[in-house]
Structure 1
């Protein structure tokens, strides 16, 4: 039995020989330039299909001496999900370097619109693209629009600013994530009456606002026995969120559930366990991290709504480099799905 030979990638020269035309003619056809007769175009395209020729985009960039530099503007602080996202962006940077693309990570306070807008306004002109955790705020939208007007591609990551001139949003359908959390909450509570707390990081972050909207939409229409309390903002800070959760537990003896649509989950866990109500109150949170995994296994946390930070980092990079290279993107590939994790299906 003979060993399987590795597949050899077809070249432009192979296509030219198969079509019986010059290399220059093949180049014109492949790059959609005019000046080639229709019959010749058909012969070249038939040879391309037969040989399975695919352009080596990275090699073409190398031959042209073309490189791209992108800025990823990520939150400062100790948010576990954002730490995971930063690690995934760093891994993506290694892959992107092979595509002649390079990533710089900038850490800023994304909760402060002036700070975030200032960071975008003062970006180096060396960047052809930017991925940013966006605040849906007038000044931030204006900064994104100014970048777009300069020809800089902007991708919003995790949290969107849809009325800006951003190129693409990379993240989950947040209203659907909130609706999913409400359905889980209602089913877990199985007809019990009482109140449910909603804790956001900041309502200036569109992803948190949209999750809260979706959650209230389903809870109020399908589970009238449960009353959603006014949303409170923990700024994704564990200490602040612990204090807010402890106050909720003390003030509302009928508290049946907590939905955290942001971060700060270590604070919620501390407050629930200190109160002795960790198994009584249904708690649903976002993002699978080392901490939420521990709380889920322990039984303090009941369900996690998750988005894959690795998929998001790679998707943002793919969208930016495809735009700069004039290549198409696959919508299905770039769709970020919503995962639901219980203790029984943890990866």
Structure 2
């Protein structure tokens, strides 16, 4: 290999070594905006390493030949899960594996368990799942693991199953971060409420635990006046938020651990509270990005779906090879209006 060739690593090799998508590498190399500084440095470091060594990042094939994966995310698909789904498909294409993606209704544990069990006999080589915490789902995943089918959980954990890697946020820490930003923005006092999904996601429970722990420790003058279980739809969130604002006209803060932000925004707007109530939510989407810019939302706690997708697919491949997957928690990124950015992979 000539010195000239060593100075120009392939985009796919940089992406593989940096653990990001090829679209992100292309943005960095061409100086386009929308990529976080930490990611830019990671890409540049991978570029420098490859240029200096002249080597490919891995000598083996990116995935076993003919590997077919199944992915099950909570449905109906929303903006955040849509983004993760796109990133999973893009990562699978990049790594040369087949991937079938299904969105299963969040509360339909029977259908999810049956779909997981169907993977036992259809040649599926690995499963990526957003698991609901229910015995049927736990048993189905346990049977897949016992049969030697690699399974990886994303976005939410399912503790107690040996051999089930988790890729996602430290959700308790993310809940504490939401509480910290809420408490600071509210002047360390006032009344708040929070929304969570009626689906049994441990991630929401962990976020709630984190929020309450930091309120106890650092913001004892903040009172939680209501907790509201939703079905993740804007319509239900609108109904609940409208009633909430009528019952508690002095409410100063809302945290939404789940989906349905549009309904809460609409209720705040109808009540004339869209600009003065501190609204904190999770996962940057095109609509929450617009709400941040327009001042209808105070902060978003974000997890990088491109990184989650890349690590999840890599974790399945690692299990096939008998190597250790990368199970570091995905960093919780605090996004405010002044550090707003484009969405990953868009």
TM-score range, shorter chain: 0.7 to 0.9
Q: Kindly tell me: are residues 56 and 76 of structure 1, through their superposed partners in 2, closer, same or farther at Cα, counting changes over 3 Å? A: same
Aligned counterpart, 2:99: 103
> Could you tell me which of 124, 130, 133 is aligned with 1:133?
130
Q: Scaled by the length of structure 1, what TM-score is found?
A: 0.79
Matched residue, 2:195: 199
Q: Cα gap change, 1:263/1:323 in structure 2, threshold over 3 Å: closer, same or farther?
A: same
- The alpha-carbon distance between structure 1 residues 242 and 51, as it changes in their structure 2 partners (threshold 3 A), is closer
- 1:67 offset after TM fit, Å? 2.4
Query: Could you tell me which residue of structure 2 aligns to residue 17 of structure 1?
Result: none
The reply to whether residue 57 of structure 1 matches residue 51 of structure 2 is: no
Matching residue of 2:41:
none
> Within 2, Cα distance between the matches of 1:259 and 1:203?
17
* Cα pair 1:201 1:263 within 8 Å, conserved: yes
Equivalent-residue separation in structure 2 for 1:240 and 1:329 (angstroms): 39
Counterparts of 1:305 and 1:60, CA distance in 2: 32
1:1-347 to 2 correspondences below 5 Å: 4-7=3-6, 56-58=59-61, 61=64, 66-97=65-96, 101-123=97-119, 124-193=121-190, 195-202=191-198, 204-331=200-327, 334-347=328-341
Aligned-residue offset at 1:69? 1.2
Residue range with higher mean Cα deviation, 110-119 or 255-264:
110-119
Shift, 1:4, TM fit? 3.1
Q: Distance in 2 between matches of 1:318 and 1:345?
A: 30
CA distance in 2, matches of 1:170, 1:158: 6
How far has the Cα of 1:222 moved from its partner?
A: 1.9
**4+ residue segments displaced more than 4 Å:** 50-55
- How far does the alpha carbon of each residue in 1:122-168 deviate from its partner, in whole angstroms, 9 at most, with x for none? 22430121000011212111111011111111100101111123430
CA apart distance, 1:59: 8.4
- Structure 1 runs not aligned, ≥5 long: 9-49
Matched residue of 1:70: which SS?
strand
Structure 2, unpaired ranges of 5+:
8-52, 342-346
CA distance, structure 2, for counterparts of residue 108 and residue 128 of structure 1: 20
- Local SS of the residue matching 2:5: coil
Question: How many matched pairs?
Answer: 294
What does the per-residue CA deviation read over 1:79-116, in whole Å, with 9 as the maximum and x for residues that have no partner?
A: 1101111111111121121xxx2211122113222222
Tell me: higher relative CO, structure 1 or 2? Use CA pairs within 8 A at least 6 residues apart: 2
Q: Distance in 1 between matches of 2:253 and 2:230?
A: 17
Matches of 2:270 and 2:297, distance apart in 1: 14
Q: CA separation in 2, counterparts of 1:191 and 1:51? A: 54
- State the alpha-carbon separation in 2 of the partners of residues 103 and 346 from structure 1: 31
Instruction: Give the C-alpha shift of residue 51 in structure 1.
Output: 11
Q: Compute the TM-score of the two structures, normalised by the length of structure 2.
A: 0.80
Contact 1:220 1:227 in 2 (8 A): no
- Change over 3 Å in CA distance of 1:55–1:220 after alignment to 2: closer
Q: What CA distance in whole angstroms lies between the structure 2 residues aligned with 1:53 and 1:71?
A: 29
Q: What CA RMSD, in Å, does the superposition of the two structures yield over aligned residues?
A: 2.2
